[in-house]
Amino acid sequence: MLARAERKAAKHAAHQAKLAAKREATAAANLAYWTKHVLPPDVWDKVRYSDKLAGVWVRDGVPPRLRGVVWPRAVGNALHVTSEVFRVCCARATEALTSRRLREEEAAEAEGAAGVDVSGEQQEGVATSNGGGAPDMVLVGREDTLSIIHTDISRTFPHLGLFQSPHGPLAGSLATVLEAFAVYRADMGYVQGMSYLAGVLLVNMDELAAFTTLCNMFRHRQGVLNVMYRLDMVRVKAYFAVFEYLLGLACPELKVHLEEVGVRPEFYLYEWLLSMFSKPLPLDTAHRVWDLFFLWGDLALFRVAVALLKFFEPRLLGLPFEECIQDVLRLPGRIRQEYDEDKFWEVVEFLHLERDVYRAACRKEGIEPPE
């Protein structure tokens, strides 16, 4: 029995080594293809929407070292964000934070002199929401939202150690980008969860590119990110309905089962979309989701969400509510830990949920999807 176990372990190790070698060869070929046939300035506009590039993009992803170039180029800069815009936003954020700190110091001095607690006044106008499966979100003006950024930064990808003060090498950059974005989008300010989006960008590019890309990712008012972060509940529910429709097309039996046991999209989909899967998935796996986002737009997030449930459909069917919801919440982590990740990406690639189907579903629910 021991000898059999050893043979099985050796066979598994050999298989894993073979897969690793295959991935390395594929990655090298992919890098060479993008460098030579995609990124040259005189080539990009010609191949950006070609079927050949789309096939490579979906099958192998964007080469990791090129994401800092490809992602900003793919999302574009329709908002015309410049280095000067970034500089002004950074300066205004610094001014707002300094002003707030001075007010707090003055209030503390007044409290000490009068012997009264004025902390209630400092919190006036601050409201939180934790309904409908959404995380706590501060719904106040930009100065107040700026003040929670540093608290959130320490909770961003803690296992990486990149954003945790005082030694995280990207902690300062993350604060800078988020503060500037909160000023740029003063209508929304900073919302908890944005640190994951900016964090993924900063792992791949510099501050200006990350800021510019983040701004343009939010440029569509009815796009998924804008709707989720503004907590536009009418459209949030509409997007949940779109997801259920797409799930029904791909996995009709599973859709019925989830409805019968009461596992609704708001229990899991909101967090998946809010972080664009960067929070529940291992970071390098989440990078592949982001690759697809910069190819397909919001459709990519729904395809990945449906593919996750489809991939685990045999496991979920028949489970009662408590076991089913626990399994659904753990699905993203299981991709890497328990299953062949390549097989999951095959499900994503060959899922028959095309752009026209997605756009029609959005319009049926009253959403005008971004182009």
Token couple for 18: 């073979």
**Which residue's entry shows tokens 């003006």?**
141
pLDDT at 354: 94
pLDDT in tens, 63-107: 999 999 999 999 999 999 999 999 999 999 999 888 877 777 667
Token couple for 290: 């982001």
Please give the C-alpha separations between residue 35 and each of 30, 62, 103, 201, in angstroms, as whole numbers: 9, 11, 53, 21
Which residues are CB-contacts of 170 (< 8 A; sequence separation ≥ 6)? Answer: 162, 163, 199, 202, 203
pLDDT at 145: 81
Kind and range of the H or E element at 325? Answer: helix 321-338
CATH of 224-365, one of 3.30.950.10, 3.30.1440.10, 1.10.472.80, 3.30.70.260: 1.10.472.80
Is the predicted pLDDT of residue 304 greater than 80, yes or no?
yes
Token couple for 10: 């050796």
pLDDT at 12: 63
pLDDT: which is higher, 103 or 121: 103
Domain boundaries, the chain: 61-103+139-219, 224-365
Considering only CA atoms, which of 40, 67, 72, 37 is closest in space to residue 55?
37
pLDDT at 151: 87
Is the predicted pLDDT of residue 133 greater than 50, yes or no?
no
> How far apart, in whole angstroms, are the C-alpha atoms of residue 168 and residue 178?
16
CB atoms near residue 18 (< 10 Å): 10
Architecture per CATH, domain 61-103+139-219, reads as: Orthogonal Bundle (1.10)
Token couple for 361: 């579903």
pLDDT at 143: 58
Segment 280-309 mean pLDDT: 96
pLDDT at 330: 87
Mean pLDDT of the chain: 87
In the DSSP assignment, the letter for residue 162 is S
Q: According to the per-residue pLDDT averaged within each range, which of 93-107, 140-154, 185-199, 325-339 is highest?
A: 185-199
State what percent of residues in the chain have pLDDT above 70. 88
pTM of the entire structure?
0.85
Write out the DSSP string of 200-211. HHHHHS-HHHHH
* Contact in structure between 193 and 135 (CB atoms under 8 Å): yes
In terms of residues, how long is the chain? 371
**Which residue's entry shows tokens 């989006």?**
197
Least confident of 127-131, 281-285, 316-320: 127-131
> How far apart, in whole angstroms, are the C-alpha atoms of residue 181 and residue 194?
10
* Contact in structure between 288 and 344 (CB atoms under 8 Å): no
Write out the DSSP string of 92-142. HHHHHHHHHHHHHHHHHHHHHHHT---HHHHTTT--EE--TTPPPEE-S-H
CA-only gyration radius of the chain, Å: 23
* Contact in structure between 211 and 180 (CB atoms under 8 Å): yes
> How far apart, in whole angstroms, are the C-alpha atoms of residue 216 and residue 193?
17
pLDDT at 16: 67
* Contact in structure between 111 and 117 (CB atoms under 8 Å): yes
> How far apart, in whole angstroms, are the C-alpha atoms of residue 103 and residue 125?
16
pLDDT confidence band for 212 (50 / 70 / 90): very high
**Which residue's entry shows tokens 């536009």?**
232
* Contact in structure between 210 and 231 (CB atoms under 8 Å): no
pLDDT in tens, 224-260: 999 999 999 999 999 999 999 999 999 999 999 999 9
